[in-house]
Amino acid sequence: MTTFTLVHVVISLVGIVTGVVVAAGLLSGKRLDGWTAVFLASTLATSLTGFGFPFEQLLPSHVVGAISILVLAAAMFARYVRLMAGSWRGIYVVTAVAALYLNVFVLVVQLFGRVPALNALAPTQSEPPFAIAQLIVLVAFIALGIAAVRRFRYSPGPVRSVSA
């Protein structure tokens, strides 16, 4: 494994772990500002570094990476520019959960490609075990997204005045 690949993998795992923490916060109605910043930044870094690997043609991983960048841009805009006001709260929650889903989707792809026992079940990733695993992940994230939209209620923190 090259240093670049290792860095990409570590950033991806940081994005997934912090994303799980952020998702738990959404479900419990907590903002978790620090965790959210690390999640969004590391997930964006994961998508961007994914384009740093050599390639000769457009691959499905590039499409997923591009979609992830767009989803993250929407999440960051909703969170930091629109401050989750009004409908932007729901947009933030949906896009944050979608960004985490895309990272986990790629994790499942990598696990089936690199873990011998999983690879034996679905060597081309077109076999039923792979499809079932991805379907389970998708359904779980749809349920998570619905629950998070219902439970997460943004309440702005105290307004701080800036002295001149």
Q: Tell me: the pLDDT tens digits for 17-70? A: 999 999 999 999 999 999 999 999 999 999 999 999 998 999 899 999 999 999
Please indicate, yes or no, if residue 157 is contained in any of the structural domains: no
Please indicate, yes or no, if residue 160 is contained in any of the structural domains: no
Closest CA to 46 of 74, 17, 73, 7: 7
Q: How many domains does the chain have?
A: 1
**How far, in Å, CA of 125 to CA of 140, rounded?**
20
Q: What is the pLDDT of residues 87-101, one digit of tens each?
A: 999 999 999 999 999
Mean pLDDT of 77-84: 96
Please indicate, yes or no, if residue 101 is contained in any of the structural domains: yes
Please indicate, yes or no, if residue 44 is contained in any of the structural domains: yes
Please indicate, yes or no, if residue 161 is contained in any of the structural domains: no
The CB density around residue 61, as the number of other CB atoms within 10 Å, is 16
Residues spanned by the domain of 65: 3-53+60-151
**How far, in Å, CA of 2 to CA of 22, rounded?**
30
Please indicate, yes or no, if residue 164 is contained in any of the structural domains: no
Residues 6+ apart with CB under 8 A from 148: 23, 26, 27, 93, 97
- pTM score of the predicted model: 0.91
